[in-house]
């Protein structure tokens, strides 16, 4: 049955390899089951319900990817977008988390339509590489700022906006220790380095009496507080256009980049260098996002950590099915997730930030018309505490700079249109401070 369903022999693999690969992928991304609820609960959402929604969204999305698209790619609520959801859309802009969930659902639906009509290739191919790298780096810087804030390392300062916190506190020291441990383990190739770092910090905090042990296994918390609580009508407000666009845009590039990168690593591209069943893979991602919003979590996307499982031999959807079953089993671990403090998950955020900012090296720094928009995009995300603002200002800078430098031929129609939309948004819908 497994051979017929996943074509194991045709992909040069077997059940044992796929199972090992599934465990490997899961261990590298399991941190999301504690980090995602930690971030989203800041909006007032129920921690237990988010924990269940995270596990179920990852299970559903990964199962669809494995069974329908037959790819060894795992999905879960995306890092960066969950922070944008919590700290910007709800925290800074003042929208309710129900409206934010509605925006996530609409972005998933638009992603599905783009995948269905193959508009995605036109969008992806027409966006400059410098802006793509700038967006990725900006999300990394955004996550880094949140990590330092959660650990008490960076605090607000009325005179200078930000300042250095009490780095001698137990929380800050545990944060730095967890980050160094995670990086060291990752460098040594230890599977599950991020999760090990989180657990190590939590155990030390427990020994110091900073957190209290509440048990290991229990029945899953209720999903009712977040299930089907999304507000679609509120999300259709014209002021939410940039928010929906940010969710859609980041998910589109994150998923496309992950799929292509993972396929290259596993030799899954066809003879023409294309990814077979790309439409199914992208639609799997969009359906997962809509399902996740209905359950009560931010955008669900493909995880680059899937390449760890591919490196371990995973080549088919059976790897993804194994990951999905492991996420489902995690529903019983809510007591463990609930005691992990923010300064224990902060090292994971900072480590992910390091990975996301690595794309800056690929920018053409000799061409200021490419470098400047990327820098504006990357810096404005953390400085305005908004992924949407960073994307908007990056596109506007790119379009205007190309025009003023007389390089019209390098300005695609799609970038010009997107930049114009953002200019109109800032002209008529912008509220200072948001």
* DSSP letter for each residue of 143-187: HHHHHHHHTTSEEEETTTEEEE--TTSHHHHHHHHHHHHHHHHHH
Can you give the C-alpha Rg of the chain in angstroms? 21
Q: What is the domain partition of the chain in residue ranges?
A: 2-428
Nearest to 296 by CA among 95, 91, 51: 51
What pLDDT shows up at residue 216? 79
Intervals of the chain under pLDDT 50: none
Which tokens in the block code for residue 354? 């390091």
Measured between its terminal Cα atoms, the distance across the chain in Å is: 54
- Nearest of 300, 347, 307, 351 to residue 327 by alpha carbon: 300
Specify the pLDDT at position 4: 80
Q: Write down the pLDDT at residue 125.
A: 64
Vertex 203, ends 53 and 26: CA angle to 5°? 40
In the structure encoding, which two tokens stand for residue 267, read together?
């030799």
How are the residues of the chain apportioned to helix, strand and coil, as percentages rounded to the nearest 5? 70, 5, 25
For residue 273, the model assigns a pLDDT of 59
What's this model's pTM, rounded to 2 decimal places? Answer: 0.83
Task: Give, for 75, the enclosing helix (H) or strand (E).
Answer: strand 75-77
Do residues 223 and 79 lie in contact, with contact meaning Cβ atoms separated by under 8 Å?
no
pLDDT at residue 268, rounded to an integer: 72
pLDDT, residue 241, reads 85
Question: 302 φ, ψ to 5°?
Answer: -70, 140
């Amino acid at each position: 049955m497994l051979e017929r369903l996943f074509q194991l022999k045709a992909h040069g693999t077997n059940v044992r390899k796929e199972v090992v690969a599934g465990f490997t992928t899961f261990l590298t991304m399991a941190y999301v089951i504690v980090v995602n609820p930690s971030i989203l609960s800041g909006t007032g959402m129920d921690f237990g319900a988010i924990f269940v929604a995270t596990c179920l969204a990852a299970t559903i999305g990964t199962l669809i990817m494995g069974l329908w698209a037959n790819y060894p790619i795992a999905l879960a609520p995306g890092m960066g977008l969950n922070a944008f959801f919590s700290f910007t859309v709800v925290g800074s802009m003042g929208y309710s988390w129900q409206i934010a969930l509605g925006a996530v659902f609409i972005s998933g639906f638009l992603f599905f339509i783009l995948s269905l009509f193959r508009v995605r290739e036109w969008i992806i191919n027409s966006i400059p590489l410098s802006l793509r790298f700038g967006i990725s780096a900006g999300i990394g810087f955004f996550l880094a700022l949140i990590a330092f804030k959660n650990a008490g390392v960076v605090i607000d300062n009325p005179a200078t906006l930000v300042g250095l916190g009490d780095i001698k506190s137990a929380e800050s020291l545990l944060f730095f220790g967890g980050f160094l441990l995670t990086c060291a383990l990752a460098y040594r190739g230890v599977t599950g380095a991020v999760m090990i770092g989180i657990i190590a910090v939590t155990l030390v905090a427990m020994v110091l009496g900073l957190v209290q042990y509440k048990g290991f296994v229990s029945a899953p918390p209720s999903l009712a507080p977040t299930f089907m609580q999304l507000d679609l009508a509120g999300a259709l407000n014209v002021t939410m256009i940039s928010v929906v666009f940010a969710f859609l845009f980041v998910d589109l590039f994150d998923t496309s980049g992950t799929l292509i990168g993972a396929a290259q690593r596993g030799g899954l591209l066809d003879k023409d260098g294309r990814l077979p069943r790309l439409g199914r893979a992208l639609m799997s991602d969009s359906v997962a996002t809509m399902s996740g919003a209905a359950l009560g979590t931010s955008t669900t996307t493909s995880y680059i950590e899937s390449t760890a499982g591919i490196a371990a031999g995973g080549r088919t959807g059976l790897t993804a099915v194994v990951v999905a079953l492991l996420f489902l089993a995690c529903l019983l671990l809510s007591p463990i997730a609930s005691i992990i403090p923010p300064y224990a998950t902060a090292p994971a955020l900072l480590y992910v930030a390091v990975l996301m900012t690595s794309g800056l090296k690929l920018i053409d720094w000799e061409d200021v018309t490419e470098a400047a928009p990327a820098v504006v995009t990357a810096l404005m995300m953390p400085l305005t505490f908004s992924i949407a603002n960073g994307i908007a200002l990056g596109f506007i800078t790119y379009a205007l700079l190309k025009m003023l430098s007389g390089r019209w031929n390098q300005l695609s129609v799609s970038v010009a249109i997107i930049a114009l939309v953002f200019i109109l948004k800032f002209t008529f819908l912008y509220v200072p401070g948001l």
